[in-house]
């Protein structure tokens, strides 16, 4: 049997992906998880106790249209539930965007490196990846993206703060960029780490939708990061009701579990918890950032709950070495590692282990010894 002959053309042509590789192995157990940008403090006590009380009710199907959580979000943003689409994680919403909007050959524009779900979604649906390099300070290059827009551009994606680099752009710059896009381009702004940005002028581009922006714009948010609900899988899109209604066509039936909706609805009521986690993270990420510099690493100043850094050694070997110390970190590419900011204790252990791992590894070819520890 030739399986490849059964395949949809886009899947046949899809390059190997990190996501694909990850689906073939499970993550090691009993490790300190500093590789997936989860919230080191977990979910709040109120969410935990609310879920415990509801466990036995989960023999019932949940509300088909996730109305409670959509209504809650709509009230929060002074929008209508018709402006909100719930997905089993914002990654599932990203997949819906591809399924609903991409035709074969459509150009999808974003910067590279960025969140890996985007290139996957483009290829899954036969779109063409148009990747503009980040600026030298690792930020989204919005001018570069505008220059790359053509008649075939279907979607322009901005991840802000960006993953894996942890950089962010002031919202006003992203808003100006969105307004400059021609009307045939759907703007997608992924704000998965929005709550971690420590800048009083930073605002969500949901504001443009509240103000009645009349061109295609989708803002993505998630409960996986600061709300600490990654394993429950719940995220959402905010947009014009016409766009949201079309996206519903690609929404799986019963796509968000009853318990995930309940957790998210409860978590939204507890903004003090979000503020507490944010304050801890802002404090701790500075300590980790400075610790990395003290070890001789190059590190990018973080705006979210993770740090992109270069040890001047093979990042795969560094990750492997850290695994042997019981700590998982990520290896986004051939130069960099990425670490999630943890609790103070985890961060101390991380920096200590990294120092040991670096000492045991040779510098990469061509790296100046003066950069070494």
Ligand X SMILES: *Cc1c(COP(=O)(O)O)cnc(C)c1O
* Binding residues for ligand X (CB under 6 A): 37, 89-91, 115, 159, 163, 190, 192, 222, 224-225, 230, 235
Nearer to ligand X, 228 or 315 (CB): 228
Dist CA 73 CA 68 (whole Å):
9
- A 10 A CB-CB count for 339 gives 29
Q: In Å, how far are 15, 136, 175, 176 from 144, measured between CA atoms? A: 25, 12, 16, 14
Pick 84 or 357: Cβ nearer ligand X: 84
CB of 333 to ligand X, least distance (A): 15
| Residue nearest ligand X by beta-carbon distance | 89
Q: Which residues contact 243 (CB under 8 A, 6 or more apart)?
A: 186, 216, 218
DSSP lists the bridge partners of residue 133 as 112
Beta bridge partners of 310: 298
> Nearest Cα to 10, choosing from 129, 131, 188?
129
Residues 6 or more apart whose Cβ sits within 8 Å of residue 198: 278, 282, 303
User: Minimum distance from CB of 37 to ligand X (Å)?
Assistant: 6
Nearest approach in angstroms of CB 200 to ligand X is 23
Smaller CB separation from ligand X, 159 or 256 = 159
CB atoms within 10 A of CB 124: 18
Vertex 36, ends 116 and 364: CA angle to 5°?
75
- In the bound complex, what is the minimum distance in angstroms from residue 78's beta carbon to ligand X? 23
Minimum Å gap between C-beta 132 and ligand X is 17
Q: Which is nearer to ligand X, 193 or 350 (CB)?
A: 193
| 62 or 222: CB nearest ligand X | 222
Nearer to ligand X, 131 or 367 (CB): 131
Beta strand pairing call for 153-159 and 186-190: parallel
In angstroms, give the least distance from the CB of 303 to ligand X. Answer: 12
Closer of 194 and 273 to ligand X (Cβ): 194
A 10 A CB-CB count for 78 gives 9
């Amino acid at each position: 049997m030739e399986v490849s002959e059964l395949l949809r053309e886009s899947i046949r042509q899809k390059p190997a992906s990190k996501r694909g590789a990850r689906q073939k192995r499970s993550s090691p157990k009993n490790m300190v998880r500093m590789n997936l940008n989860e919230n080191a403090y977990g979910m709040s006590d109120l969410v935990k106790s609310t879920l415990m009380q509801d466990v036995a009710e989960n023999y019932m199907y949940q509300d088909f249209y996730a109305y409670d959580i959509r209504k809650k979000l709509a009230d929060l943003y002074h929008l209508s539930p018709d402006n909100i689409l719930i997905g089993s994680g914002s990654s599932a919403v990203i997949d819906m965007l591809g399924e609903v909007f991409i035709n074969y050959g459509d150009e999808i524009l974003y910067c590279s490196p960025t969140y890996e779900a985007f290139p996957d979604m483009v290829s899954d649906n036969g779109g063409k990846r148009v990747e503009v390099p980040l600026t030298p300070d690792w930020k989204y290059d919005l001018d570069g993206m505008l220059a790359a827009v053509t008649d075939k551009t279907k979607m322009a994606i901005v991840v802000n703060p960006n993953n894996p680099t942890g950089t962010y752009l002031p919202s006003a710059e992203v808003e100006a960029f969105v307004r400059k896009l021609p009307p045939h381009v759907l703007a997608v702004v992924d704000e998965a780490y929005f709550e971690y940005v420590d800048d009083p002028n930073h605002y969500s581009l949901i504001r443009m939708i509240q103000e009645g922006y009349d061109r295609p714009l989708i803002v993505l948010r998630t409960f996986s990061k600061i709300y600490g609900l990654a394993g429950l899988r719940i995220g959402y899109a905010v947009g014009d009701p016409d766009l949201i209604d079309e996206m519903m066509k690609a929404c799986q039936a019963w796509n968000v579990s009853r318990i995930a909706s309940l957790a998210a609805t409860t978590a939204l009521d507890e903004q003090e918890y979000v503020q507490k986690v944010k304050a801890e993270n802002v404090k701790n990420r500075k300590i980790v950032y400075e610790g990395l510099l003290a070890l001789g690493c190059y590190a990018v100043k973080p705006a979210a709950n993770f740090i992109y850094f270069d040890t001047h050694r093979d990042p795969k070997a560094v990750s492997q070495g850290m695994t042997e110390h019981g700590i998982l970190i990520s290896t986004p590419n051939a130069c960099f590692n990425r670490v999630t900011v943890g609790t103070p204790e985890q961060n101390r252990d991380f920096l200590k282990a990294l120092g040991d791992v670096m000492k045991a590894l040779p510098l990469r070819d061509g790296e100046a010894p003066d950069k070494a520890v």
